Amino acid sequence: MRNKLAKIFASLSNAALAMLLMVPAFAFAEYKLNLQTPNTALGQTIYDLHTLVTWVCVVIFVVVFSEMFYAIYKHRKSVGHPAANFHEHFWVEVAWTILPTLILIAIAVPATKALIQMRDTSEPDMTIKVTGHQWMWGYDYLQGEGEGISFVARLSTPRAQIQGREPKGPNYLLETDNHVVVPTGKKVRVLVTAADVIHAWYVPALAVKQDAIPGFIRDTWFKAKAPGIYRGQCAELCGRDHGFMPIVVEVMTPTDYSAWVAKQKAGMKRPEAVAAAADKAWTLDELKAQGDKVYAANCVACHQATGAGAPPAFPPLTGSKLAVGAKSGAIDMVLNGKPGTAMAPFKHLSDADIAGVLTYIRNNWANKTGDMVTPAEVKAARGGGAPVAAPAAAPAAAAPAAALPASVYYDTGKAVVTDDSKKTLDDVIAQLKANANTKVEITGYTDKTGNLAQNMDLAKDRAVGVRDALIAAGVAKDRINMKPPATVEAGGDPRQARRVDIKPGA
Amino acid sequence: MSTAAHDTTHGHGHDDHAHDHKPYGIMRWVGSTNHKDIGTMYLWFSFTMFLVGGVMALIIRAELFQPGLQIVQPEFFNSMTTYHGLIMVFGAIMPAFVGFANWLIPMQIGAPDMAFPRMNNLSFWLLPPAALLLIAAQFAPGGGAGVGWTMYAPLTTQAGPAMDLTIFAVHILGISSIMGSINIITTILNMRAPGMTLMKMPLFCWTWLITAYLLVASMPVLAGAVTMTLTDRHFGTNFFNAAGGGDPVLYQHIFWFFGHPEVYIIAIPAFGVVSQIIPAFSRKPLFGYASMVYATASIAILSFLVWAHHMYTVGMPVETQLYFMYATTLIAIPTGVKVFNWVATMWKGSLTFETPMLFAIGFLFLFTLGGFTGLVLSIVPVDVQLHDTYYVVAHFHYVMVAGALFSAFGGIYFWLPKWTGKMYDETLGKWHFWLSLIFFNVTFFVQHFLGLAGMPRRIPDYSLQFAEFNAISTIGAFGFGFSQLLFLYIVVKCIRSGKPAEQRQWDGADSLEWTHLPSPAPYHSFATPPVVK
């Protein structure tokens, strides 16, 4: 705590110093004083409406306060002005009630027209669905030219720029990996929704701002005039990285737009690079390197570079049972997310990317599974056809599904495997042989009755016995992780105190 | 109001009040049922919270001084914006005006104390635990809840345990406010001195009577909203979860049904204070007293009918938006009436410009500016451009800081002689005003431009085109913050070594506390009610 405070104070004094140094720089800065130059007809209407209302306010302000300053100047005691004693005047009071009413009505007329125009989303030329996620935007072209195109757009400013380790680029925080591309002169209806919390899709130059509400779809529209790139941001507080989910709309001429659509469609039909990546025989290090990039782009905002997350909303990955446990659980979490939490589905990433990031997570920080998640496994988990690159997975389906976790029970005081337990052990061995990647954890249990040291030794002997049985059956030694013996509370099923558990593990 | 001047000129040694039996030591404050002691505690509590909230504001502004993340992490930044808002609204501004109400209402209507003195004690002593909960939330696992002071669902469902502490704090603050309001309403309606008809009451009492009704009507609504959030978080309800049949926007409707009256809960007592100060220094009765009362009441009623203008971008039917736009612009009419009345009060007066008057004029000028940006924001198509940008931040700081806070400063300088029996340092007071005025505008005027150019609020980092104005704003914020330490010095200096004040320190002030009570006001005043002609 002390350190943190000291750090804050140090930074504040640095900031104060920087302030003094910055002052001369203002002279050269470019100051933007008004709304962004609109690129839609409606935007122009709103711009003019804002100008009108502001001028009305300025005029009233000047009139009222010139009276006040006149009084301050002329009606002061120090110049000997005597106080009058009037305190009401019927007609004046009526006048300054009626006059503002008329002015308001005069403003309301153009405001009403603009509002009705603004909310008319009927007869669009094309429709795009926008989905706000923590913290990126998903886009689906639903109708019109480009129908079927779908992608996700994330902040593409490197973290090094944000943290001041690199100079900031001209479009700092207003750049994304994918642009929303639209044609000029077409009415684009935008359906806006969200996957987790409320966001808002805001592009000032297109005069569009619409809250993205999870579970509901709202709409808005724009018709862009000139080609160009228009940048906006999420406008509704949506958690940690609310300031880091920009929107980039690229407006093209209809011809360029058609070309863009054709290119996108071609990319969708023959995702050669993606397919090649999936079929490639990856090594663990290659997958980790791939995963590092994917992690930095998708995961680091919540789960942090240290993997420690920001509990409780964003759980740690380092030391996480789910992350290093059975691969299927980890794959499922990344593919499908966890409803009701900030963990969004990442289905849109390629198999190779998901495999890479999972391999990275399972072999980084305190996590040392030493195995890799292959693109084929991810593909299989998607239900997208038979697994290709994992022949060992085929018998896995046939193997007894529930062999793991298993418990091997012993007679009191003995470390010899009983006949019943031998069958359990055989099932486990069969499953381990079928799944070359599965690892196990072995724990011996005892209770607290009698001599504790003796009990512990017995539990350990039994666990070692199980390990030797597995090794004898051909299971590699590095797939077995021995855990320290554990005790169970007295009063339960006495069998529990003389067992060895075999669990899938790291 | 129109009472004969009392012939006592010096408070000290006035026989009737020479034997004040006040308890001594800490128990005087812990167990106090005296409206003046409780008023004092409210004011010191609110100033403490003002400094806490101010430090948070400076952390925010320090981070925003330059593009990039330099000082804090985004989640801590979000927590700062959240608790800065909550602490300033519920901890600083609202208790400050309740402090004024406690000190002044009994004295201005000729009552010996508040109607329910023990409840009064409890309303105050609920505040420190609530404040501690808000501060403790910073140290909860995962840090403070970075959800914004408006606490929109479903972001609140994601937040950590800090959210529960915050919700509980809001509950406690709400109970405190409701009890305080019941006390104020009962005192004003039942304990006025003979002859003090409602329409003879000083306007400050009127504004508090109306505010107290707003509080009683709106605080339970907020309590409901946060309780629904709590049950959504822990007890499996789905009020704000679409997947369970709820609606996240429902939260906003409920919150703003409280939230808009809340704006006036803060502003209306500020109107009251200014309506005492301006006539006093104009040496002229308040222009349009009756229309002031009616305008205040109209604003209060309208405040319950316009809540959705905070939510133009959630997507409502166009007819609903039209209604809320028209209803909102209507508020400009009674507000305009008030501003015209204040200016007309000054017109042809005999003006002097002591510190309270300077703050009142500062209030009038800048609050009106904030009112005009409010009119701009009421126009839906324009608001859609400006909603959730720094334009809104600038707008409500003009109303809350230059409006309510300046009015509170003016009030403190105005009544400090009556409360302490001593005068503050006039030169330093003027310094405080001019520093506050200049730095306030340096901080917030430029934020209009940021908002127009499209900078969203509540972001810890921004793109390069916003850099210059943010740097200026930060410089202003630090200047404004440090100027308030001068205020603390002035008040402490006044209490310790101020020159003795006159009974009627301001010759234009004509309410009962000036005409009938010495300075300092005795511990027990108006044990026998004065007769008001």
Identity of the amino acid at B345:
T
Q: Which residues in chain A have their CB less than 8 angstroms from residue B242's CB?
A: 213-216
Q: DSSP character for A237?
A: -
Residue B216 parent element (H or E): helix B203-234
Cβ contacts of residue B179 below 8 Å, gap of 6+?
B116, B119, B120, B122, B123, B126
- Which whole number is the average pLDDT over A409-429? 78
Average predicted confidence (pLDDT) for chain B: 93
Per mean pLDDT, which range of A7-16, A121-130, B49-58 is the poorest? A7-16
pLDDT at A10 over 60: no
- Which whole number is the average pLDDT over B336-363? 96
How many C-beta atoms surround the C-beta of residue B320 within 10 A?
11
Which contacts qualify for A7-13: CB closer than 8 Å, 24 or more apart?
A: A8/B59, A8/B71, A8/B72, A11/B62, A11/B70, A11/B71, A12/B58, A12/B62, A12/B71
Q: Are A197 and B147 in contact (CB under 8 A)?
A: no
pLDDT at A177 over 70: yes
Q: What angle do CA A316, A320, A325 make, to 5 degrees?
A: 150
Q: Which residues in chain A have their CB less than 8 angstroms from residue B152's CB?
A: 198, 236-237
Q: What angle do CA B258, B264, B269 make, to 5 degrees?
A: 135
CA–CA gap between residue B91 and residue B149 (Å, rounded): 13
Residue B348's region, left for phi above 0, alpha for psi from -120 to 50, else beta, is left
**What chain B residue is nearest to A37 in terms of C-alpha separation?**
B453
**What chain B residue is nearest to A201 in terms of C-alpha separation?**
B313
Written as six digits, the tokens of B71 are 């000082």
- Mind listing the pLDDT tens digit for each residue in A475-495? 877 788 888 887 776 666 777
Residue B128's region, left for phi above 0, alpha for psi from -120 to 50, else beta, is alpha
CA–CA gap between residue A427 and residue A320 (Å, rounded): 28
CA–CA gap between residue A9 and residue B345 (Å, rounded): 48
Q: Is the dihedral of CA B490, B493, B495, B498 positive or negative?
A: negative
Q: Which residues in chain B have their CB less than 8 angstroms from residue A66's CB?
A: none
Burial A484-502 (b: 16+ CB within 10 A, else e): ebeebeeeeeeeebbbbbb
Contact across the interface for B286 and A107, Cβ inside 8 Å = no
Give the class (CATH, top level) of A272-390. mainly alpha
Contact across the interface for B384 and A31, Cβ inside 8 Å = no
Q: Are B339 and B318 in contact (CB under 8 A)?
A: no
CA–CA gap between residue A102 and residue A156 (Å, rounded): 50
Question: Testing the interface with A: which of B156, B388, B398 to mutate, by most A Cβ within 10 A?
Answer: B388
Burial A152-177 (b: 16+ CB within 10 A, else e): bbbbbbebebbeeeeebeebbbbbbe
A104 — pLDDT class (breaks 50, 70, 90): very high
ipTM of the complex: 0.91
- Which whole number is the average pLDDT over A278-302? 81
CA–CA gap between residue B490 and residue B485 (Å, rounded): 9
**Does residue A400 or residue A350 have the better pLDDT?**
A350
**A11–chain B nearest CA distance, Å:** 6
User: How would DSSP label each residue in A292-347?
Assistant: HHHHHHHTHHHH-TTS--BTTTB---TT-HHHHS-HHHHHHHHHH--TTSS----T
CA–CA gap between residue A450 and residue A344 (Å, rounded): 51
Q: What integer pLDDT is reported at residue A275 of this predicted model?
A: 65
Contact across the interface for A237 and B159, Cβ inside 8 Å = no
A266 — pLDDT class (breaks 50, 70, 90): confident
By Cβ distance, the residue of B375, B456, B467 closest to A202 is B456
Order of strands, edge to edge, in the sheet holding A136-143?
A150-153, A136-143, A126-133, A188-194, A218-222
Cα distances (angstroms) measured from residue A432 to each of A94, A464, B285, B402, B459: 91, 17, 94, 73, 51
**A148–chain B nearest CA distance, Å:** 26
Q: Are A297 and A152 in contact (CB under 8 A)?
A: no
A27 — pLDDT class (breaks 50, 70, 90): very low
- Which whole number is the average pLDDT over A54-79? 94
- Which whole number is the average pLDDT over A22-30? 45
The structural domains of chain B, ordered by start, are: 15-515 (1.20.210.10)
Residue B231 Cα to chain centre, angstroms? 30
CATH, range A41-80+87-118: 1.10.287.90
Superfamily of domain A400-504: OmpA-like domain (3.30.1330.60)
Q: Are B281 and B356 in contact (CB under 8 A)?
A: yes
Contact across the interface for A77 and B463, Cβ inside 8 Å = no
By Cβ distance, the residue of A85, A168, A197 closest to B154 is A197
Q: Are A274 and A349 in contact (CB under 8 A)?
A: no
Residue B419 parent element (H or E): helix B406-420
Q: What integer pLDDT is reported at residue A429 of this predicted model?
A: 81
| N-term to C-term CA, chain B | 9
How do the domains of chain A map onto residue ranges? 41-80+87-118, 126-269, 272-390, 400-504
Q: What integer pLDDT is reported at residue A254 of this predicted model?
A: 95
**B455–chain A nearest CA distance, Å:** 8
Q: What percent of chain A has pLDDT over 90?
A: 42
Q: Which residues in chain A have their CB less than 8 angstroms from residue B382's CB?
A: 46, 49-50, 53, 111
Contact across the interface for B464 and A213, Cβ inside 8 Å = no
- Which whole number is the average pLDDT over B328-357? 95
By Cβ distance, the residue of B248, B379, B468 closest to A198 is B248
Q: Which residues in chain A have their CB less than 8 angstroms from residue B364's CB?
A: 68
Q: Are B219 and B291 in contact (CB under 8 A)?
A: no
By Cβ distance, the residue of B62, B158, B361 closest to A239 is B158
CA–CA gap between residue A376 and residue A336 (Å, rounded): 17
**A158–chain B nearest CA distance, Å:** 11
- Which whole number is the average pLDDT over B2-29? 56
Q: What angle do CA A140, A144, A146 make, to 5 degrees?
A: 55
Q: Which residues in chain A have their CB less than 8 angstroms from residue B458's CB?
A: 237, 242-243
Average predicted confidence (pLDDT) for chain A: 83
pLDDT at B126 over 60: yes
Segment of A32-41, A81-90, B166-175 carrying the highest mean pLDDT: B166-175
Q: Which residues in chain A have their CB less than 8 angstroms from residue B333's CB?
A: 97, 100-101, 104
Active site residues per annotation of B: 84, 113, 149, 176-177, 260, 262, 264, 275, 309-310, 335, 338, 457
Contact across the interface for A243 and B456, Cβ inside 8 Å = yes
Contact across the interface for B351 and A77, Cβ inside 8 Å = yes
Contact across the interface for B461 and A107, Cβ inside 8 Å = no
CA–CA gap between residue A80 and residue B352 (Å, rounded): 11
Residue A193 Cα to chain centre, angstroms? 15
Q: Tell me how many residue pairs between chain A and chain B have CB atoms under 8 A apart.
A: 330
Peptide bond between residue B141 and the one before it cis (omega within 30 degrees of 0)? no
Cα distances (angstroms) measured from residue A446 to each of A3, A309, A451: 45, 36, 11
pLDDT at A398 over 60: no
Contact across the interface for B322 and A112, Cβ inside 8 Å = yes
Contact across the interface for A213 and B318, Cβ inside 8 Å = no
Q: What integer pLDDT is reported at residue A396 of this predicted model?
A: 38
Contact across the interface for B350 and A198, Cβ inside 8 Å = no
Cα distances (angstroms) measured from residue A143 to each of A224, A227, A264, A309, B234: 17, 21, 15, 39, 41
- Which whole number is the average pLDDT over B272-297? 95
User: How would DSSP label each residue in A442-492?
Assistant: EEEEEESSS-HHHHHHHHHHHHHHHHHHHHHTT--GGGEEEPPPEEE-TTS
pTM: 0.79
Burial class (CB in 10 A: 0-12, 13-18, 19+), A55: exposed
Q: How many CA atoms lie within 13 A of A504 on its CB side?
A: 19
**A137–chain B nearest CA distance, Å:** 17
CATH, range A126-269: 2.60.40.420
- Mind listing the pLDDT tens digit for each residue in B248-269? 999 999 999 999 999 999 999 9
A278 — pLDDT class (breaks 50, 70, 90): low
**What chain A residue is nearest to B334 in terms of C-alpha separation?**
A97
Residue B191 parent element (H or E): none
A19 — pLDDT class (breaks 50, 70, 90): very low
